[in-house]
Structure 1
Amino acid sequence: MTPVLPVLLASVNGSRSASEGPAVPMSPADLADSALAAVAAGAGEVLVHPRTPCGRESLSPRVVGPVLEELRGAGVDVPLVVPACVGAEPCAAERLERVRSWTVLPDRAVVCFAEPGARELAEALLGRGVAVDAVVPLGGRPGPTDQDPMARFLAWPVREPGRVRLVAELPSADPSWVAGLRGLPPVAVVLFGREAAAWPVLRLAGRCGTGARTGVGDVLHLPDGRPARSNAELVAAAGVVLRETADPGPTVPV
């Protein structure tokens, strides 16, 4: 029997700039087209970084709302995720105020637990009915705080595990990183890597039965090293990898 694959999240633009190639969508219309194609290729969710017309990431309701409306109006009918992180707003207090002022809500929002104010931001999002992706970098990417990001996440009493997901960024596909996730609260897990780590970590996610993430926000090349022409091409390739590596017995929550 073919195993049921966990969620595949498409990161359609990330923190990329237009200078990084034609595969990176920038305008709301291009983001919508790219998201639609990624969903058609197998993405179950879409992560989009809203930007101002000059290309700067923003949490302003005047930027976030129109991007979400563009995607939904175009027919993107899977959960939409936006980041609420330093890249869009450096000040922790301002991030919190921006989230509280949103007039159009995403289905989920990314909270970076390597950044100050993560717990308060996550609580504010949950209070507004927005599910939380708690991003925790494991090794190689320490945050600007005096506490390990995983320790910060574990210190947060997750009262609604069904609406919180741990999104672990791995520097490599070393299985020991996943072994350390088995003692976590009962939340779903997504694994991802960037650039050279992207495909090895995606294969690890397939073996472990966790959710996975791909897209030009994380990687610009296909598993065979060829440049990716689109998010849809990356998602289709990821689907093949996940089917080839899927283990019918997942080892961590998905």
Structure 2
Amino acid sequence: MIVQACINGARGADFHPALPLDPDAMARDGAASVAAGAAELHVHARGADRQESLAPEAMDRTVTALRRACPGTLIGVSTGAWIEKDDRRTIAAIAGWHELPDYASVNLSEAAAPEVMEALRNRGVDIEAGLASIGD
């Protein structure tokens, strides 16, 4: 069995005061999750405005902080279409990442899923299939 801790999700700051919305908080919660038995972490990176972001600056800061705090732990990220709200911007963001996650979740129900998966494969990032229905 593999335990994956999903430490923040697509939730806003009003969800809970302790929700980790910056790289340091994600690293702290990630390390606590690993200490409790998680083998993998799934995170939604945030920009300086604490909003979900796939921008290289946000992703690089988040992945770097998690790697420092949780060495050897698999790091996964979300690529949900709602994050950048533009498929071309999502693809461009992935192309600009310097600190790569081990894998990224791709929701197969999203129209640009094939292009997002291709962009990830081109970067050497593994894919976690996001399944919302039997059709997916």
How would you bin the TM-score normalised by the shorter chain?
over 0.9
For 1:215-254, list aligned pairs within 5 A.
Answer: none
Matching of residue 94 in structure 1 with residue 85 in structure 2: no
C-alpha distance in structure 2 between counterparts of 1:106 and 1:13, whole Å: 16
| 2:74 aligned partner, one-letter code | P
Q: Helix, strand or coil for the counterpart of 1:18?
A: coil
Identity of matched residues, % = 33
**TM-score scaled by structure 2?**
0.92
- Counterpart check, 1:47 vs 2:42: yes
Residue 23 of structure 2 corresponds to residue 28 of structure 1: yes
Name the structure 2 match of 1:72.
67
Instruction: For 1:84, give the aligned amino acid.
Output: T
- Alignment of structure 1 residues 12-23 onto 2, 5 Å: 12-23=7-18
Secondary structure in 1 matching 2:50: coil
Cα RMSD (Å): 1.4
Q: Which runs of 5+ in 1 are unaligned?
A: 1-5, 140-147, 151-254
Q: 1:111 aligns with which of 100, 106, 113?
A: 106
Q: Which runs of 5+ in 2 are unaligned?
A: none
Structure label with greater radius of gyration: 1
Amino acid paired to 2:116? L
Secondary structure in structure 2 of the residue aligned to 1:38: helix
8 Å Cα contact 2:13/2:19 also seen in 1: yes
Cα deviation, residue 85, structure 1: 1.5
Q: Hey, what does 1:10 align to over in structure 2?
A: 5
TM-score, structure 1 length as denominator?
Answer: 0.51
